[in-house]
Amino acid sequence: MVLHKKLKLISSLMVMMLLVGPAHATAVACEQNKARYIDPESDLVFAFEEQSEQSAFLQPFSIGSDAADIKIKGFITLEGNPLRPIAYAVHQCPDGDITGEELAECTIWQGVPYGLYSDGAVGLLPDQDEPAVKQLLLPDFARSVMSKPIWNELNIDREPFEVFDLLDCGAK
């Protein structure tokens, strides 16, 4: 009788796993270019945005909070030899094509964004259509942004850190 109850319990658990498992797996699977991350210290949200068709190698993003209407815009591009992702967080850049000098003037942070993977590895961000990393590491982001006038406009009470946790999936 005890064996029968255990088998019944195990089969019930298996049915539940089959019903819940695929839905959960779909919710967890997220392409890198659709991921949103949150800084648990300041509640700043780093969100990848829809990529325009004209720009095959740029991945736009924004950083902001619910407490302010203003957002820091930015993009990730591939640069260097060998190619690696470089992120530019910008504010009040001129519209249209801009020169390197104009980009330098409106850049409030520039750096290599690193991914912290589920297995504990740290590396460059994956390609846009690959699974999103568990966390983003933006070296020197906090110091750089806090030294700029936009920091006051963001209406953040706490200092940001440089590690953003995966929040959800879906460019917004």
Pairwise CA distance, residues 61 & 34, whole Å: 10
Q: What is the pLDDT of residue 56?
A: 54
**Is residue 108 located within the same domain as residue 122?**
yes
- 125-160 pLDDT, tens digit each: 988 889 999 999 999 999 998 888 888 888 888 888
Task: Verify that 140 and 151 share a domain, yes or no.
Answer: yes
Residues 48 and 84 in one domain: yes
**15 and 71 co-located in one domain:** no
Q: 21: domain range?
A: 1-30
Q: Is the pLDDT at 100 greater than 50, yes or no?
A: yes
Distances (CA, A) of 27 to 42, 52, 143: 25, 25, 34
Could you tell me if 81 and 25 lie in one domain?
no
pLDDT score of 121 more than 90: yes
59 and 96 part of one domain: yes
Same domain as 119, residue 57: yes
Q: Look at residue 73 and tell me whether its pLDDT is greater than 70.
A: yes
Who contacts 31 (Cβ-Cβ below 8 Å, separation ≥6)?
Answer: 128, 129, 130, 131, 132, 169
Say yes or no: 26 and 38 in one domain. Answer: no
Residue 146's closest CA among 156, 137, 136? 156
The angle at the Cα of 104, spanning 147 to 145, to the nearest 5 degrees, equals 20
Task: Say if residue 99 is in the same domain as residue 131.
Answer: yes
pTM to 2 decimal places:
0.77
Number of domain units in the chain: 2
At 104 the pLDDT is 92
The sign of the dihedral angle between the CA atoms of 107, 100, 55, 139 is negative
Q: Is the same domain home to 65 and 93? A: yes
Same domain, 77 and 157: yes
pLDDT value at position 38?
A: 95
Question: Average pLDDT, whole number, for the chain?
Answer: 80
What are the tens digits of pLDDT across the range 24-62?
A: 333 457 999 899 999 999 899 999 987 766 555 688 999
Q: Are residues 100 and 79 in the same domain?
A: yes
Pair of tokens at residue 142: 């906090």
